[in-house]
Amino acid sequence: MTPAPRPEAWTETTPVQVRRTLRGVVLVFALAWSLLATPVGASDCFETKDFAAPIEQVELYIAEHGADNVLLVVDIDNTMLSMAQDLGSDQWFEWQSYLLKHEPDSPELAATDFDGLLEAQGLLFTLGKMRPPQSTQPALIKRVQEQGVRTLVLTSRGDDFRAATIRELVANGYDFPETAVTPATPKAGPYAPYDPKAPMAAGLTQEEFEGFGLGQPRPVSYADGVLMTAGQHKGAMLLTMLHQLEKQPEAIVFVDDHGRHVLRVYDALVRRGVEVSTFHYQHEDDRVARFRYSDKRDVVNRWRRLHDVLAEVFEAPEASNPTLGPAAASSSAGAATAR
């Protein structure tokens, strides 16, 4: 377990020297915010490949604050769960998002716009299977749950993916409803996390609203202990959830595989004077790196085959799918010619 989270940016060419420089920049900003914020206890940022590290920190907080005053906040993708294959994985989605933004005419795209990419991802979540990066993770989380720690699953997934998400959490031995934080006034279904014209009503100061770069919100949802934030600023989303609680935690442990989320949550909580330990969980980093620098033909071909099979089974005319990506379109055209 070592200090210093680093930001995650999709790039095929970022050299090691640049990554190290970025890590230093992150540390400078984190320390600067720490000095400007209300003093807190032993708040810190860590890097770890072992999920036991944040659990040990939770238990240290239990000894200091009592279990009912400690909150464990955990991400899902490449943190508690990872796809059994690269197609549909977090790194696949990041790569596809990169192509949409920087290479919109790429033949490797699964969709022609972001909504189409979300539809493709939803299909892959529905059909795919996931596993914990470390087999011990469900038991580790259960260990602190049994001690009385409250929990919150904080994911960038949107509400459309809720059913598949809960299915895979349960299938892999995770159980959050019993230890989940409970809002004073629970909201049913998707809701706006804040009003841009009145962020204070959702627990965000005007300074935070502007500093976090927030704009028009996308709907979020909370149920079964899982807050689905639809890709929004995790620090801000966590603050809005804390605002809804009658009992505030005295200490928080946050675990995520993306450095940007780790930094944003740390920044948001330290500004508020909340004692927090954030963990940049890097167990899947080698797998992610292999995918980033690998030949993508395998996942492209897998997507094309899946698309063609579904199109044939359901007899879906190509014209009815306005977001059909070049990868699928070229495959469908070839299949049609062969038939």
Indicate which CATH number applies to the domain containing 61: 3.40.50
Residue numbers in the chain where pLDDT is lower than 50: 2, 4-40, 331-339
What's the confidence (pLDDT) of residue 69? Answer: 98
Cα distance between residue 224 and residue 220, in whole Å = 14
8 A C-beta contact, residue 55 and residue 143: yes
Q: Is 149 within a domain?
A: yes
Statement to judge: residues 300 and 253 lie in one domain: no
Cα distance between residue 304 and residue 298, in whole Å = 10
Torsion of CA 224, 115, 315, 106, to 10 degrees: -130
Statement to judge: residues 284 and 299 lie in one domain: no
| N-term to C-term CA, the chain | 57
Q: Which residues pair with 252 in a beta bridge?
A: 71, 276
Closest C-alpha among 253, 252, 254, 255 to residue 281: 255
Cα distance between residue 218 and residue 204, in whole Å = 16
Statement to judge: residues 102 and 232 lie in one domain: no
8 A C-beta contact, residue 183 and residue 244: yes
Q: Is 122 within a domain?
A: yes
Cα distance between residue 3 and residue 255, in whole Å = 13
Q: Is 13 within a domain?
A: no
Q: Is 12 within a domain?
A: no
Statement to judge: residues 110 and 216 lie in one domain: no
Statement to judge: residues 75 and 186 lie in one domain: yes
8 A C-beta contact, residue 119 and residue 336: no
Structure tokens belonging to residue 263? 């930094």
DSSP string, 66-106: -GGGEEEEE--BTTTBEESSSTTSHHHHHHHHHHHHH-TT-
What's the confidence (pLDDT) of residue 311? Answer: 85
Statement to judge: residues 172 and 48 lie in one domain: yes
Q: Is 9 within a domain?
A: no
Q: What is the DSSP letter of 185?
A: S
Cα distance between residue 273 and residue 251, in whole Å = 10
Q: Which helix (H) or strand (E) holds 41?
A: none
Range of the domain at 259: 19-84+129-290
Q: What is the DSSP letter of 257?
A: S
What's the confidence (pLDDT) of residue 64? Answer: 97
Hey, is 74 helix, strand or coil? strand
Q: Computed from CA positions of residues 331, 337, 338, 339, in that sequence, does the dihedral angle turn out positive or negative?
A: positive
Closest C-alpha among 311, 304, 323, 310 to residue 115: 323
Residue length of the chain? 339
Amino acid at 237: M
8 A C-beta contact, residue 256 and residue 75: yes
Statement to judge: residues 191 and 259 lie in one domain: yes
What's the confidence (pLDDT) of residue 42? Answer: 74
Cα distance between residue 28 and residue 288, in whole Å = 26
φ, ψ for residue 41, nearest 5 deg = -75, -130
Q: Is 75 within a domain?
A: yes
Please name the residues in contact with 258: beta carbons below 8 A apart, sequence gap of 6 or more: 8, 75, 280
Statement to judge: residues 165 and 311 lie in one domain: no
- Percentages of the chain per state (helix, strand, coil), in multiples of 5: 50, 15, 35
Q: Which residues pair with 278 in a beta bridge?
A: 45, 254
pLDDT in tens, 197-251: 999 999 999 999 999 999 999 999 999 999 999 999 999 999 999 999 999 999 9
Statement to judge: residues 269 and 320 lie in one domain: no
Cα distance between residue 277 and residue 337, in whole Å = 57
Hey, is 109 helix, strand or coil? coil
Total count of domains within the chain? 2
Count of other CB atoms within 10 angstroms of residue 136: 14
